[in-house]
Chain A
Amino acid sequence: MISTAQILYGTSFALIIIGLYAVLSQRNLIRIVIGLNVADVGINILLVTLGYIEGGRVPIFAPGQPTTNWVDPVPAALVLTAIVIGFGVTALMLTLVMRLYAKYGTIDASRIRGLKW
C-alpha cells in the first residue's frame, strides 16, 4: 500500500525534474520562466510533505479543538517564504524578458546572441 507521503514525494520530484528539464531545453524565454515556476511548485510540495504526518491536523489553536496529532508547522512557514521569493524572481525575470523583447523583437533564445549556451 502506497502512502500519502510517498505519492507527494514522487509528485514533487516529478515536477522539479519536468521544470528543470524545461529550463534547460526550451528556447522560448517565457517557457523557461514557466519551467522555473513548475519546479517551484514541486519544491513547495516537497517542503510541505516533509511536515506531513498521517491524518495530521492543521496546527492552529482554536476553542474546543483537540491539540493532538498536528502536522509540522515549520515546513509550512518555510514554504511561505519560498513562494514569496519565487514570485519576486519570476516578476523580475519576466520584466527582463519584456525588455529583451523590446530590444530584439524576439523571445527566442537561439536568436539572441548572448543567450546561446
Chain B
Amino acid sequence: MVSPMLFIIAPLAAAFLMIFINRRGAALALSLLTPAGLAILGVSWLPATLVRAQPIVVASIKAPLGIPLSLDALGAGMAILVAVSSVLIVLYSSSYIHRGHHEVRYYAVVMILLTSAFGLVLTRDIFNLFVFFEILCISSYILVSWEQSGAALEASFKYMVLGSIGSTFLLVSIALAYKAAGSLAMADIAVAFDSAPRGYVIMAAVTFLFGVGVEAAIFPVNSWLPDAHSSAPSSISAILSGFVIELALVVTFRVLNTVFAAVDVLPLLQIIAIAGVLVGEFSAFGQKDLKRMLAYSSISQIGIMLFALSLGSTAGAQAGLSHLLMHAGAKSALFLIAGYFILRTGSRLIDDYTGLGYRMPVSAALFGLAALSLVGAPPLFGFFTKFQILAAAAATGGGLAWFGIASILSGTVLEAVYLFRVIRVLFAQPAERSRVEMDLPALVSVALFTALVVFGALLLPSLSSMIGPIADGLATLH
C-alpha cells in the first residue's frame, strides 16, 4: 500500500531532483507530474477518508512520542484542491515565467511550497505545524520577491517582518502548550487545556491566532497581503490567493476549534471576519491597480469564509468550504488573466486596459465570468455558495450574524461595482484590432479554472454527499 506520506515526500524529492538535474525540461516535467499524480492519489483515497480518517505513523513511533499525521476527509479534499490548482498554475507558468537560469529554482520553490501545504493539512502535531508553516512562509517570501522590482522587494520584506513576528508568537504559543500538556500532539494538548486555567488557555489561543493569522491574512495582521499579492508574479499571486491563504485559514480554524476548544473563540473570530469583509471591500473599491484590487478582494473573501466557518453550525462550515472552493477557482483565474493583461499592456492600472477586451476576447470573457461568480451572480457557482452562507447565518440568528449578513450584502454591492467597472473598461471602445490572446498553456489553465466556477453549481449535488464528512474535519482531530 502506498502511504499518504507521499504527499510530503514526492514534491520534496522532486524539488531536490530538480536542483540536482538543473534542466528546465526536467523541472517542468517533474513539477507537472508530481502534483498531477498526487491529485489522482488524493481522489483515490478520498472515499476511504470519507468513512474514517487514515492515521499515518511516522518512524514506527506512535502518537505522543513521535509525530502523528493523519489524512482525513478535510485533508484529502484540501490536498486535491492544492494539487489540481498547482498543476494548472505550473502549466500557466510554463509560458508566463521568463526563461532563464533561475527558472529551475522557481519550480523547486513552488514544489517546496506544495510540500508544506500538504504537510499542514496532514500534521496533528503542533511543532510540526510550526515547521511546515515556516517552510510555507519562506517559500512565499521568495516567490513574492521573484521579480526583484522595488515594489516586490519591499512587499517581500514587509511580509517577512510580519511573518517572523508571527512565528515568534507561534513559538510562544507552542511553549505554553508544551508546558501545560507535556506533549506536542494536538489531541493531548486539547485534553490538557480542558483543565488548565482559563487565562492561560486564552493567552495560548491569542498568541496562536496572532502567529498563524499572519499567513492566513486574518484581519488585524494582514497589512502585508495587498503589497505581496499584487507585486508577486501573477502565477504566484494565484497560488497565494488561490490556495495558500485558504489553506492557512482552514488549518488555523481547525486548530482553534479543536485544540483551544476550552475557550470559545468563535464570537471573536466572527468579529474579525466581519471587519475583514468591510475593510477589504472598501479598500478594494478605491484601487486603480487591478492586482491590488484583487488582493483586497481576497481579504474580504477570506473574511466571508471565516465568518461562515465561525458560525459554529454544520451548515455554516459546509457553506464556508464550498465558498472556499469557488474562491480558489475564481481568484486563481482572475489573477492569472490579470497577469497577461499586464504582460500585454505593460501596465497594472485598470484605466490602461481600455478596449483590451477586443484584443483578447477569450481572456476578457473568462475574466468576466470569474468576476461574476466572485460577486455571486445567479447562475454561477458563487451565487449558490454565498446564498448558502447567508442562509446559514440567518438560521443561526443573533445580532452578530445579522450584522455579518448586512456586511456581506453591502460588500457584495461594492464588489459588483468595482468589478463591473473593470469589465466596462475592457469593452469600452474598440482600440486597434490586433489580437494578442494568451499563450495556449495559459489559456487552457485559465479556462479550466473558470470552468470550475461556471459549472461548479452542477457539482453541488454530488458534492453534498462529501461535504458533510469534510466539514466534520474542522471540529475533530482524527
By a beta-carbon cutoff of 8 Å, the part of chain A in contact with chain B is 16, 19-20, 23-24, 29, 32, 36, 39-40, 43, 46-47, 50, 74-75, 78, 81-82, 85, 88-89, 92-93, 96-97, 99-100, 103-104, 112-115, 117
B276 to chain A, nearest CB (A): 18
B168 pairs with A20, CB closer than 8 A: yes
Closest Cβ neighbor of A32 among chain B residues: B161
B400 to chain A, nearest CB (A): 29
Closest Cβ neighbor of B168 among chain A residues: A39
A92 pairs with B141, CB closer than 8 A: yes
Give which listed residue, B134, B138, B155, B157, contacts A29 with CB less than 8 A. Answer: B157
By a beta-carbon cutoff of 8 Å, the part of chain B in contact with chain A is 127, 131, 134, 138, 141-142, 145, 148, 150-151, 153-158, 160-161, 164-165, 167-168, 171-172, 174-175, 178-179, 184, 223, 227
Give which listed residue, A20, A78, A96, A103, contacts B127 with CB less than 8 A. Answer: A78
| Residues in A neighbouring B164, C-beta threshold 8 A | 23, 36, 89, 93
Query: What are 20 A-B pairs with beta-carbon distances under 8 A?
Result: A23-B165, A24-B165, A29-B157, A40-B168, A43-B168, A46-B172, A46-B175, A78-B174, A85-B131, A85-B134, A89-B138, A89-B160, A92-B141, A92-B160, A93-B164, A100-B154, A100-B157, A114-B158, A115-B154, A115-B157
| Residues in A neighbouring B160, C-beta threshold 8 A | 89, 92-93, 96
| Residues in B neighbouring A16, C-beta threshold 8 A | 168, 172
B138 pairs with A103, CB closer than 8 A: no
Main secondary structure of the interface of A (DSSP, over half): helix
A96 pairs with B223, CB closer than 8 A: no
A4 to chain B, nearest CB (A): 16
**C-alpha gap A36/B160 in the complex (Å):** 11
Give which listed residue, A24, A43, A81, A99, contacts B172 with CB less than 8 A. Answer: A43
A114-B150 in contact given A47-B171, A89-B138 (Cβ < 8 Å)? yes
Closest Cβ neighbor of B170 among chain A residues: A43
Give the 9 A-B residue pairs with the shortest CB-CB distance, closest first.
A114-B154, A43-B171, A85-B134, A36-B164, A39-B168, A96-B157, A46-B175, A100-B153, A103-B150
Give which listed residue, B138, B154, B174, B223, contacts A112 with CB less than 8 A. Answer: B154
Closest Cβ neighbor of B134 among chain A residues: A85
A97 pairs with B157, CB closer than 8 A: yes
**C-alpha gap A55/B166 in the complex (Å):** 34
B155 pairs with A23, CB closer than 8 A: no
B208 to chain A, nearest CB (A): 15
| Residues in B neighbouring A96, C-beta threshold 8 A | 145, 153, 156-157, 160
**C-alpha gap A78/B172 in the complex (Å):** 12
**C-alpha gap A46/B179 in the complex (Å):** 11
A93-B157 in contact given A50-B179, A88-B138, A104-B150 (Cβ < 8 Å)? yes
B230 to chain A, nearest CB (A): 11
| Residues in A neighbouring B161, C-beta threshold 8 A | 23, 32, 36, 93
| Residues in B neighbouring A115, C-beta threshold 8 A | 154, 157-158
A14 to chain B, nearest CB (A): 13
B366 to chain A, nearest CB (A): 31
| Residues in B neighbouring A36, C-beta threshold 8 A | 161, 164-165, 168
| Residues in B neighbouring A89, C-beta threshold 8 A | 134, 138, 160, 164, 167
| Residues in A neighbouring B184, C-beta threshold 8 A | 74
**C-alpha gap A100/B160 in the complex (Å):** 14
| Residues in B neighbouring A82, C-beta threshold 8 A | 171
B203 to chain A, nearest CB (A): 12
Closest Cβ neighbor of B169 among chain A residues: A20
**C-alpha gap A97/B153 in the complex (Å):** 9
| Residues in B neighbouring A74, C-beta threshold 8 A | 178, 184
**C-alpha gap A114/B157 in the complex (Å):** 9
Q: A47-B171, A74-B178 are in contact. List 14 more A-B contacts (CB 8 A).
A: A16-B172, A20-B165, A43-B172, A46-B171, A74-B184, A81-B131, A82-B171, A85-B131, A88-B138, A89-B167, A96-B156, A100-B154, A114-B150, A115-B158
| Residues in A neighbouring B167, C-beta threshold 8 A | 85, 89
Closest Cβ neighbor of A77 among chain B residues: B127
**C-alpha gap A39/B178 in the complex (Å):** 19
| Residues in A neighbouring B168, C-beta threshold 8 A | 16, 19-20, 36, 39-40, 43
A67 to chain B, nearest CB (A): 18
**C-alpha gap A73/B156 in the complex (Å):** 36
Closest Cβ neighbor of B137 among chain A residues: A89
A50 pairs with B157, CB closer than 8 A: no
| Residues in A neighbouring B138, C-beta threshold 8 A | 88-89, 92
**C-alpha gap A82/B150 in the complex (Å):** 30
| Residues in B neighbouring A104, C-beta threshold 8 A | 150
B154 pairs with A113, CB closer than 8 A: yes
Closest Cβ neighbor of A40 among chain B residues: B168
B67 to chain A, nearest CB (A): 11
